[in-house]
């Protein structure tokens, strides 16, 4: 009976620090297994809490790789401000381009007040309304795409007036003689020999050849009832019937023809059967 009681009693342990020379006991601690487990758990918890406080409440956290410091947060705020400014600039450019298109088409320009009101109404729309509009827009796009797929010739293509077109500079040089409606309904552009002459717009070559007076000459028909003429070239790189795009090389500047005086380009621009001043629409 006493033996069972001895085995069931709590076993104690002693941790002693002894001086090696005098064998005096400097420190003694008695403990049980349960006490040892509690001490270990307490030590681990306290260590973890101290480590968390050190990382979370002191600047040491900035030393952790990938942790955003004050400079990173400042840069993020500045980038957000720049993005907002760029969005405003893009919105202004969209308004400008839309108003330019409306003016060119003869429509009334948009007003800023109406745009702001439309945006405020758009923000007030519910999510359900947005989904309904998106679904209707998708259906409309599908219907238009289906109609355009089989609509081979729905009408003549829409062209801008000459004031709204973007012309490519035919030759990098100096305008040596300007336009005069009565005496000189064209311009002369002087440039170094072997300079490249380029088409001012997309179009089709309607004539390309040689005459004794004008030398190598090429004429191009463009949309909007516009014709461009390039005379006194040294060499032509396109022939009648060729399709060209704006900026495509069509000739090499020269001084061919009996009326030419030195290397230059005799350039004419015709609109609806009348010669117009090219310098009003093209930057030389």
Q: Domain locations in the chain?
A: 2-52, 70-133, 167-280
Using 50 as the pLDDT threshold, list the residues of the chain that sit under it: 1-2, 150-156
Enumerate the H helices of 58-199 as residue ranges.
Answer: 70-104, 112-124, 127-150
What pLDDT, on the 0 to 100 scale, is given for residue 211?
A: 92
Looking at the DSSP bridge assignments, the partners of residue 219 are 207, 229
Which tokens sit at 276? 């117009």
At residue 116, the pLDDT reads 54
Distance of alpha carbon 61 from the chain centroid: 38
Asked whether 240 and 205 are in contact (CB, 8 A), the reply is yes
User: What is the Cα–Cα distance from 45 to 43, expressed in whole angstroms?
Assistant: 6
Q: How far apart are the first and last CA of the chain?
A: 120
- What does pTM read for this prediction? 0.47
Give the integer Cα–Cα distance in Å for 230 and 195.
13
CA 244 to CA 206: how far, in whole Å? Answer: 11
CATH class of the region 167-280: mainly beta
pLDDT digit string (tens) for 100-132? 777 777 777 766 555 555 555 555 555 566 667
Task: Write the burial class of residue 172 (CB in 10 Å: 0-12 exposed, 13-18 middle, 19+ buried).
Answer: middle
Q: Which residue has the tokens 């629409």?
A: 281
* Cβ atoms within 10 Å, residue 169: 15
Q: What is the pLDDT of residue 254?
A: 93
H or E segment at 193? none
Q: Residue 9's pLDDT is what? A: 61
């Amino acid at each position: 009976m006493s033996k069972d009681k001895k085995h069931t009693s709590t076993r104690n342990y002693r941790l002693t620090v002894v001086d090696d020379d005098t064998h005096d006991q400097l420190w003694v601690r008695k403990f049980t297994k349960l006490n040892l487990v509690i001490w270990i758990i307490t030590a681990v918890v306290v260590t973890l809490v101290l480590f968390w406080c050190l990382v979370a409440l002191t600047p040491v956290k900035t030393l952790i790789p990938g942790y955003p410091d004050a400079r990173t947060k400042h840069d993020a705020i500045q980038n957000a401000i720049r993005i907002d400014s760029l969005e405003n600039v893009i919105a202004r450019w969209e308004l400008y381009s839309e108003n330019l298109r409306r003016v060119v088409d003869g429509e009334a320009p948009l007003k800023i007040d109406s745009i702001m009101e439309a945006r405020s109404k758009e923000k007030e729309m519910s999510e359900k309304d947005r989904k309904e509009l998106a679904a209707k827009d998708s259906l409309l796009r599908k219907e238009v795409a289906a109609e355009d797929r089989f609509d081979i010739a729905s009408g003549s293509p829409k062209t801008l007036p000459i004031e709204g077109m973007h012309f490519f500079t035919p030759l990098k040089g100096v305008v040596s003689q300007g336009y005069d409606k009565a005496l000189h309904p064209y311009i002369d552009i002087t440039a170094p020999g072997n300079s490249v002459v380029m088409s001012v717009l997309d179009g089709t070559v309607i004539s390309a050849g040689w005459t004794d007076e004008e030398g190598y000459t090429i004429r191009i028909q463009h949309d909007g009832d516009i014709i461009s003429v390039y005379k006194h070239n040294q060499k032509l790189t396109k022939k009648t019937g060729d399709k060209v795009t704006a900026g495509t090389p069509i000739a090499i500047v020269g001084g061919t023809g009996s009326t030419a005086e030195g290397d230059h380009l005799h350039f004419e621009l015709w609109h609806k059967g009348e010669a117009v001043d090219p310098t009003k629409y093209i930057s030389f």
